[in-house]
Amino acid sequence: MSLRFAALGLDHRHIYGMAGNMIAAGAEFVGWWTDGNPGALDGFDKRFPGVPRAMDKAQLLDDPTIDLILISAIPRDRAALAIAAMEAGKDVMVDKPGCTTLEQLEAIKACVARTGRIWSVDFSERFEVPSVTRAAELVAEGAIGKVVQTVGLGPHRLNRPTRPDWFFERKAYGGILTDIASHQIDQFLYFTGATDAEITLASVGNFANPSDPGLQDFGEIALHAPEGHGYIRVDWYTPDALPNWGDGRLTILGTEGYIELRKYVDVGGRDGTDHLVLVNGTRCENIDASDAGLPYFARLAADIRDRTETAMPQAHAFKVMELGLKAQEMAEARA
């Protein structure tokens, strides 16, 4: 029998990728529930016609045939839903940020320890980007030597008319470092092999949207670990002329070369997505990495079946969110 999953909370469009990729991995989407009628519902119905809406979340949580719960609710509500799902015997894949306070994170850790369930965060800028898959393969092959630094840039388009009220509420989305920068923290830890890091710089600001005091439209973090260094910049400044939502990039510096990913667009003129630049002692080339695959989802399905940690170590998910939350606190204390 295939893995069966349901969704709780459709407040962010990331649910499309979460559900679609689990279906592609062979899982069966059997139901969903959300509070009210968030804007993501229109696109959801088009992508997943025929998947029934439950009368309430208890209908799904009490179904013993459901193995996995996907959560893309308002960020402040994700921790409570995840805990309820794990207490009901389900494993969880949650949209980033997985939680919005350190207190929520501690409650999630306690629930995982108590129930033995999986709490996985879909860091989509790694898990849903084929060029990151190819970069990981090259790093594992030793193509750039030992990784000593990552530089992660996460620009986003504001798309103000489409944003719900909670998007502009600091307590609802958790702050820009907790939210967007969790992607880049994940990639820093993953590519350097670090299991912890010192936050040496953290700042946030609102420079372009003074009428929305709850919005942080700029943030940056610097990280230091024995395994390597990291710099992160995130923002909501993507200009309208760019053909997609953001020119997301990752540079991985090694002792024998470097890799640059232009994940979603190449403003240098190449069509498509997932452009990878590799430079080392024998190679200087552009690689189309769009067919490299997305192994996270099949690995998570296997982890649910086998009770393993091949998709992402549980400690890694906890550490990414811990660092994001602590960086957020540091930045706001200095603001």
Q: Return d(Cα 163, Cα 154) in angstroms, integer.
A: 18
**307 in a domain, yes or no?**
no
Q: Encoding tokens for residue 301? A: 């399905």
180 and 138, same structural domain? yes
Residue with tokens 């307590």: 171
Can you spell out the DSSP letters for 300-323? HHHHHHHT--SSS-HHHHHHHHHH
288 and 185, same structural domain? yes
**309 in a domain, yes or no?**
no
69 and 23, same structural domain? yes
pLDDT at residue number 8: 98
pLDDT at residue number 335: 74
From 19, 29, 324, select the one nearest 187 (Cα to Cα).
Answer: 324
From 92, 159, 96, select the one nearest 127 (Cα to Cα).
Answer: 96
287 and 154, same structural domain? yes
Q: Which residues sit opposite 201 in a β-bridge?
A: 222
**Measured between alpha carbons, how far is residue 14 from residues 17, 40, 94, 204, 282 in Å?**
6, 9, 10, 24, 39
186 and 88, same structural domain? no
**268 in a domain, yes or no?**
yes
**308 in a domain, yes or no?**
no
The SS3 call for residue 140 is: helix
Q: Encoding tokens for residue 93? A: 């894949």
44 and 160, same structural domain? no
Range of the domain at 247: 126-294+327-334
Q: Return d(Cα 70, Cα 81) in angstroms, integer.
A: 10
Helices (H), 142-291: 170-173, 176-179, 181-192
Among 96, 122, 148, where does a domain finish?
A: 122
80 and 50, same structural domain? yes
The CATH number for 101's domain is 3.40.50.720
The Cβ of residue 207 has, within 10 Å, a number of other Cβ atoms equal to 11
89 and 165, same structural domain? no
231 and 184, same structural domain? yes
Can you spell out the DSSP letters for 250-275? EEEEETTEEEEEE-S--TTS--SS-E
For the chain, 335 residues long, give each residue's pLDDT as a single digit of tens: 589 999 999 999 999 999 999 999 999 999 999 999 999 999 999 999 999 999 999 999 999 999 999 999 999 999 999 999 999 999 999 999 999 999 999 999 999 999 999 999 999 999 999 999 999 999 999 999 999 999 999 999 999 999 999 999 999 999 999 999 999 999 999 999 999 999 999 999 999 999 999 999 999 999 999 999 999 999 999 999 999 999 999 999 999 999 999 999 999 889 999 999 999 999 999 999 999 999 999 999 999 999 999 999 999 999 999 999 999 999 999 87
Among 122, 139, 165, where does a domain finish?
A: 122
- Whether 257 and 143 have beta carbons less than 8 Å apart is answered as yes
**72 in a domain, yes or no?**
yes
| Domain total in the chain | 2
Please, what's the largest Cα pairwise distance for the chain? 60
**313 in a domain, yes or no?**
no
Torsional class of 126: left (φ above 0), alpha (ψ -120 to 50), beta (otherwise): alpha
59 and 106, same structural domain? yes
166 and 105, same structural domain? no
152 and 116, same structural domain? no
Among 122, 137, 159, where does a domain finish?
A: 122
- Whether 31 and 56 have beta carbons less than 8 Å apart is answered as no
**166 in a domain, yes or no?**
yes
The CATH number for 212's domain is 3.30.360.10
**32 in a domain, yes or no?**
yes
- Whether 156 and 196 have beta carbons less than 8 Å apart is answered as no
